[in-house]
Amino acid sequence: MRRIFDLFLSFAILVLVGFLLVNYVLMPMYVRWNGEVRVPSLTFTTLPEAKKMLEERGLQYTIKDTLFRSGTPQLSIIDQFPDAGDMVREGRRIQLTISMLPGKKEMPDLISKTLRHAKIILEELGLPLDSVQYDSSDYYHEGVVIAQSIPAADSVNVRNIIILTVSKGKRNAQKSVPNVVNLGEQKAREILEEHGFTVGLITTMPDSILLPRTVISQSWNPGARFPVERKVQVDLIISVDY
């Protein structure tokens, strides 16, 4: 029993000596060497924590920049210069980039502007566009912003959800089937798509008069009208050589 106690006491003394050696000899040598101080790692710490760590090493800090980064707590260190582990003279100022909520801005008036123009305006202000919705409008042309989730002139920042509603044209607007008979297959396809239709089933028929791949007939008569939003396929019969 006495032997176990002596072994335990010896181990405790060794641990204590090791702690004192590391804490008061090795660590000071690691942190300070030849009149220089090793820069600590400050990223992901808060500004008060970073200030304390620097003061313990005789260092100071200066705010180089502020950025907003989603998910990063305010006043957290995002970046530092010099880097962690570099050796610097005592009294050196470490440049810090910290996270800060952006200041409030005035929401622009985007009504009647094209979606592309509205996106450019938001990007210039650093405001993110959350989503785009579409709705019919008898007043605004297709592709123009007709509503915004945050009214113009209201205060806004990057945390706000900005949703734009864009016109998809007049309600009950209609489209008519173009006449593509006697046109080449590729040209017929282009014209149908320009008018809001798609090419459906293509059937071939031998023809000695028309050039190959020319439209002989179409499934919907020219002038047939459909709602703009309806998807309509036009089947074609085209010529081939005998």
Tokens 């502020």 -> residue:
66
Tokens 């592309």 -> residue:
116
pLDDT tens readout for residues 46-80: 999 999 999 999 999 998 888 877 678 888 999 99
Q: Is the pLDDT of residue 25 over 70?
A: no
53: left (phi over 0), alpha (psi -120 to 50) or beta: alpha
Residues of the chain with CATH 3.30.10.20: 33-101, 105-167, 174-240
Class of domain 105-167: alpha beta
Tell me, what's the pLDDT at 177?
Answer: 96
Tell me, what's the pLDDT at 22?
Answer: 47
Class of domain 174-240: alpha beta
pLDDT tens readout for residues 127-166: 889 999 998 887 888 899 999 999 998 988 877 889 999 9
The CATH topology of domain 33-101 is: Trypsin Inhibitor V; Chain A (3.30.10)
Backbone angles phi, psi at 142, to 5 degrees: -60, 135
Tell me, what's the pLDDT at 26?
Answer: 47
pLDDT tens readout for residues 227-237: 887 899 999 99
Distance separating alpha carbons of residues 124 and 122, to the nearest angstrom? 5
- For residues 178-202, average pLDDT: 95
Q: Is the pLDDT of residue 31 over 70?
A: no
Q: Is the pLDDT of residue 239 over 90?
A: yes
